[in-house]
Chains A and B, each alone.
Chain A
Amino acid sequence: MKWLRASWMRLRSLFCKEQFDRELTEELANHVEMHIEDNLRAGMTPEEARRNALLKLGGLEQTKESVRDQRTLPFLESLFQDLRFALRLLRKSPAFTATAVLTLALGIGATAAMFGVVYSLLFDPFPYQGADRLAVINIHDLKQNADSGSDREEFSIPEFLEYQQHNHVFEDLVGSYSAVVRLEDGGGTTTFGAAYVTGNTFDFYGVPPQMGRGIVPEDAAPGAPPVFVMNYKVWTADFAADSKILGKTYLIDGIRRTLVGIMPPRFQVGGGRLWLPLDLSSAAAASTPVDKLVRLWTVGRLKPGLSLAVAAADVQVLAKRLVKDYPKEYPEQFNVNVQNLVEALVGNFKVMLYVLLGAVAILLLIACSNVANLMLAKATTREREIGVRVSLGAGPIRLVRQLLAESLLLATLACLVGCFFAYFGLKGISATVPANTLPDEAVIGFNPVVLLFAVALSFSTTLLCGLAPAVHAVRGSLQERLSGSGKNVNTPSGHGPFRTALVIAEVALSVVLLTGAGLLTRSFVALTSIDLGFNPKDILFAQLSAPPERKDTIEDQKLFFDQALPRVKALPGVVSATAAYSLPPVSGTYSDVTVPGKTHSEPRYTRLELCSAGFFETMQLHLLRGRVLSESDIASSRRVIVVNETLARRFFPSEDPIGQEVKFDWFDKLAGAPHDAYFEIIGVVRDFSNWDVRKSAPLPEAILPYTILARDRRIILARTSLPPDSLLPAVRREIWAVDPKIAIDTGNLQDFLAEDSYSEPRFNLITSGAFAGIALLLVVMGVFSVMAYSVSLRTHEIGVRMALGATQDSILKMVLAKGFRLIAAGLVIGLLVSFAQTRFIANQIWGVSVTDPLTFFSVVVLVALVGFTACILPAHCATKVDPVIALRYE
């Protein structure tokens, strides 16, 4: 305590130095006066009295100095001095300061922003209790590839209960089942993505509600009063954050439920926007829209200290037991994986994140080497100044400290600017990050952790790029420094090779980043320009859902479309309209196919699309043979189909597909579908993308009249001549005019596709492009600063050369040749590394070779040009050297 108080007072007196000094001077003067008076009284002569008093006091200045040391913190005071001096120096060379600060800030900002993303997504994605122990179970078919997407992570209710009650490794398991529900509040019908959750879910995640309460186990008991809970976004967007709605009742899928709570923004369990309790007991199963086909997405929290492998082994025992009861649910050969939840959700994107983090680390290294370079250059020109300091008695520690004070100041400025960059960088990233690749709970943004990271980064980079130059500066003999001119070519300063190596490394690193960005760009261009086989431009869609309890028949649906389609088509700006089953490019469902007279061993499945006659015109599909579905085919539910080329080729490799008949096995299992029905192929259309845009080979597809089969979800697609978004309200109005009970979700197909298929490559492209741009900027700064410096060091030499008859041309050539050697070396190394690292980005590259010659060539040309440009100015300066002045310098 005593020590603390003293330090505080010392610290405080740093700030009112002048007053203390004045008072001390006065006090000591008084002291002397009093002493003199006493001496006079004792009978001394005035001179003697004065002399005696001063002698006794012993050096006025020494006394003052020792009082001062006691009063403040001498270390801190000299640090302030160093900082003040550094500030003056930095102000004196604003170009150096700006370059160094900007360079460091770019590196720090980019790294902090990327760290922010990685932190939010991989380390703090969930606000849940024991979030790092959350895990999902998946059943992996050993006959399939690991990433074939065939792993099962969802379980039927009996399976769920078995796993929940008999495992030994989880604290608890929760299950959720997502469904689209219709919420009627008296004013209109709206659809929401909802999650039916097991009663223990809210306790399990342990997030306190924003308002009201969460779902409790009693809510999921049979006969409990129906309730629901709402997420924050719905509450604010659709209910204007009105706190009075708590306790109100709403009709949700025909059941009147009371709103009991609103959850905070980051609670996003099961991807639901509304949460409804799920009654697992079989008695109640009939009353909720849950049937035997329901699969629960299951999440468990591992007991502390258990590894995923141990958990998997335990669950595997249960799974083997379940195989006997549910043989169809499990593949012949399988194993059970227990996967960390973050891993499962962020999965593939994680690789990209680490690649990006690696990229920014490289950027930071470039920035550091640039600044180290600049500071080395400065240190060399200051060798004389340092020599003088040393001869006046400055110790090496003191000198290093003073030089580090400069770096500290630079770092502080860079940190400020860098945080500014990181803040906007993170804003940009959270706007472009692919929405569905991330857990909804993750919030990307500038937070205290990122700030802390940025500060730590700034100071470690300071040490990194300030310490080496500082140590370099104080090493070496004093005599050499004072006697040499400081610019003498005969005594090279010794860090020439180091600087050269730094520039070569910079050029090489930028080549690596640029080739990466170049490949991603090429890949993105290839991806966005692929021929989908249909034209997604100017298509609007309206997804429709009728009340499920209404159980619309084929006739009901036909009645609806017969009225709605003409109304939509009649809207000004609509060219054509069609009913369909699913949003392109993914056809909604699939079925195994039987072709009469043919046996087959491998599975023969096809995708199915149900539509009206306008489908082909609206999608702009290209008919190859036969004819498309006609109005009368639709009206009379004729059993005819149009197939794509892949289906024709696969099922009828040698015969003419037109007129052939096929049967869809799925229909045989489906109530309301024609059983044992054969469909005649009447036309073949060119292949179009009907699966994943990035997977080039389309699947077989059959297009049927929608009147064959009643489905409770349908869509309307319309091709427009006006911007589709402008027509959406009119389309909704027309549809509601036919059937007000229908809930509608409208949109623009191209935007939907862009969001669905292009957002991840776009994100990769934007980020890596930004990095590569920054890298190139840093190369310019790096090459320029080093060349300019080396020219200034060689002024004397150049002067001598010119005095001996060298022409301006030959000087220019000499300087440029040096620059070129550096750039060429960097290019070669960079290309080698790029070739070596291509396999790391191979899975992000699509439609272009990872060693695409065009990309590599462009990068080489670009870097060479940029490097050359950065050399020109210093080289030009070199030719302007006046030999007389250069030699007089000596």
Chain B
Amino acid sequence: MGDKKDVWQGTLALMVLKTLETLGPLHGYGIARRIEQTSGDLLSVNYGTLYPALLKLEQEGYISSEWGVSDNNRKANYYKLTRAGRKQLEKETQEWEQTTAILARFLSYEEETS
């Protein structure tokens, strides 16, 4: 467990949004597992940061929550992407892609000149 990386604060929100877009309504535990699985178990989601992040997204209106019943008949709080959330996801994805592209070009340029 020790060599797994904690999720960066800024990217956690994006991951949550993306997860909800892909899987539809999901509870907190499901979101955490999904993020960990998608990262190929390279990331470890700290729940101490997950739940405040979910609340923050809810307060900002990007996701909404509702109590429902899970697969194995358990009451759970389901989070769902809102329309604003979908827009935000699009915007952040684009920004993120741009950033990584710039960074990638920058890094490869360094290599060429060195």
The interface stretch among B15-23, B41-49, B99-107 is B41-49
Q: Is the CB of A56 within 8 A of B59?
A: no
State whether the Cβ of B27 lies closer than 8 Å to any Cβ in chain A. Answer: yes
Asked if A57 CB lies within 8 Å of chain B CBs, one says: yes
Instruction: Determine whether the beta carbon of B27 is less than 8 Å from that of A30.
Output: yes
CA gap between A27 and B29 in the complex, in Å: 9
**Is B48 touching A66 in the complex (CB atoms < 8 A)?**
yes
Cross-chain contact A2 with B61 (CB below 8 angstroms) = yes
Interface string of A51-89 (1 = CB under 8 A from B): 000001111001100110111000000000000000000
0 or 1 for each of A606-631: is its CB under 8 Å from B? (1 = yes): 00000000000000000000000000
CA gap between A10 and B46 in the complex, in Å = 23
- Cβ of A23 within 8 Å of any chain B Cβ, yes or no, is yes
B56–A27 touching, CB < 8 Å: no
By a CB distance below 8 angstroms, the chain A residues around B59 are 5-6, 9-10, 70-71
- Known pairs A30-B29, A67-B55, A71-B55; A5 contacts B61 (CB<8 A): yes
B84: nearest residue on chain A (CB-CB)?
Answer: A2
Q: Which of B30, B47, B60 contacts A5 (CB 8 A)?
A: B60
Q: A17-50 CB contact bits vs B (8 Å, 1 = yes)?
A: 0000001101110110111011000000000000
Say yes or no: A70-B29 contact (C-beta < 8 A), given A30-B76, A34-B70, A58-B46: no
* Contact B52 A66, beta carbon cutoff 8 Å: yes
Contact A33–B74 (Cβ < 8 Å) = yes
Against A, the Cβ 8 Å flags (1 = close, 0 = not) of B56-72 are 10111100000000101
Are A6 and B60 in touch, CB under 8 angstroms?
Answer: yes
With both beta carbons as reference points, the residue of chain B lying nearest to A13 in the complex is identified as: B59
Q: Output the least CB separation between A764 and chain B (Å).
A: 60
Closest A residue, CB atoms, query B44: A56
Q: A6 near B56 (CB under 8 angstroms)?
A: yes
List of A residues within 8 angstroms of B70 by Cβ = 30, 34
Contact A31 B29 (CB under 8 A): yes
Evaluate contact between A67 and B72: CB separation under 8 angstroms: no
Task: Determine if B48 and A35 form an interchain contact, defined as CB atoms under 8 angstroms apart.
Answer: no
CB distance A67 to B74 under 8 Å?
no
CA distance A9 to B51 in the complex (A): 16
A62 to B52, CA, bound (A): 11
Closest to B58 in A: A9
Query: Which residues of B are found within 8 Å of A63, using beta-carbon distances?
Result: 47-48, 51
Contact A26 B56, CB 8 Å, known A2-B61, A56-B47: no
Pair B75/A30 contact, Cβ less than 8 Å: yes
Is the pair B48, A59 in contact by a Cβ cutoff of 8 Å? Answer: yes
Closest to A31 in B: B29
Q: Which residues of B contact A24 (CB under 8 A)?
A: 51
A26 to B70, CA, bound (A): 14
Interface residues on B, range: 20 to 34
Specify which of B52, B59, B60, B72 lies most central, judged by the most chain A CB atoms within 10 Å of its CB.
B59
Given A6-B59, A58-B47, A70-B56, A31:B72 Cβ within 8 A: no
A58 to B76, CA, bound (A): 20
Alpha-carbon distance between A70 and B54 when the two chains are bound, in angstroms:
10
- Would you call B52 and A57 a contact (CB within 8 A)? no
Contact of B47 (CB < 8 Å), options: A9, A23, A31, A37: A31
Across-interface contacts of B51 in A (CB, < 8 A): 24, 27-28, 63, 66-67
Give the residues in chain B near A10, CB-CB below 8 Å: 59
Q: Please name all residues of chain A whose beta carbon is closer than 8 Å to the beta carbon of B75 when the two chains form the complex.
A: 26, 30
Residues of A within 8 A of B60 (CB): 2, 5-6
Do residues B52 and A34 form an inter-chain contact, with CB atoms below 8 A?
Answer: no
Q: Is A70 touching B48 in the complex (CB atoms < 8 A)?
A: no
Q: State A34–B75 Cα separation when bound (angstroms).
A: 11
Return the chain A residue nearest B36 by Cβ.
A56
Q: Which residues of A contact B76 (CB under 8 A)?
A: 27, 30, 34
Shortest CB–CB separation between residue B24 and chain A, in angstroms?
17
Instruction: Give the complex CA separation of A63 and B50 in angstroms.
Output: 9
Q: Considering only CB atoms, which chain B residue lies closest to A62 in the complex?
A: B48
CA of A353 to CA of B51 in the docked complex: distance in angstroms? 63
A297-339, CB under 8 A of B: which get 1 and which 0? Answer: 0000000000000000000000000000000000000000000
Contact partner, A23, options B61, B72, B77, Cβ 8 Å: B77
A102 to B30, alpha carbons, bound, how many Å?
60
Cβ distance B4 to chain A, nearest Cβ, rounded Å: 11
Q: Please name the residue on chain B nearest to A24 by beta carbon.
A: B51
How would residues 2 to 30 of chain B score, 1 for a CB under 8 Å from any chain A CB and 0 otherwise?
00000000000000000000000001111
A54 to chain B minimum Cβ distance, whole angstroms, is 11
Residues of A within 8 A of B48 (CB): 57-59, 62-63, 66
| CB <8 Å contact, A34 and B29 | yes
Closest to A23 in B: B77
With beta carbons under 8 angstroms apart, the residue of A6, A31, A37 that contacts B28 is A31
Contacts of B46 in A (CB 8 A): 58
Task: Report Cα–Cα, A10/B52, bound state, in Å.
Answer: 12
Output the least CB separation between B61 and chain A (Å): 6
Measured CB to CB, the nearest residue on chain A to B71 is A34
A190 to B51, CA, bound (A): 84
> What is the bound-complex CA distance between A60 and B30, given in angstroms?
18
Inter-chain CA distance A58–B46, complex, in Å, is: 8
Q: Please name all residues of chain B whose beta carbon is closer than 8 Å to the beta carbon of A69 when the two chains form the complex.
A: 52
| Cβ contacts A to B, 6 pairs, < 8 Å | A10-B59, A33-B74, A37-B72, A58-B46, A58-B47, A67-B51
7 closest A-B pairs by beta carbon, nearest first, are A70-B52, A6-B59, A34-B29, A63-B48, A9-B59, A31-B29, A27-B77
Q: Report which B residues bind A (CB closer than 8 A).
A: 27-30, 33, 46-49, 51-52, 55-56, 58-61, 70, 72, 74-77
Q: A2-B61, A66-B51, A71-B59 are in contact. List 10 more A-B contacts (CB 8 A).
A: A6-B60, A9-B58, A27-B27, A27-B51, A28-B51, A31-B27, A34-B30, A37-B72, A63-B47, A70-B55
- Chain A contact residues, CB within 8 Å of chain B: 2, 5-6, 9-10, 23-24, 26-28, 30-31, 33-35, 37-38, 56-59, 62-63, 66-67, 69-71
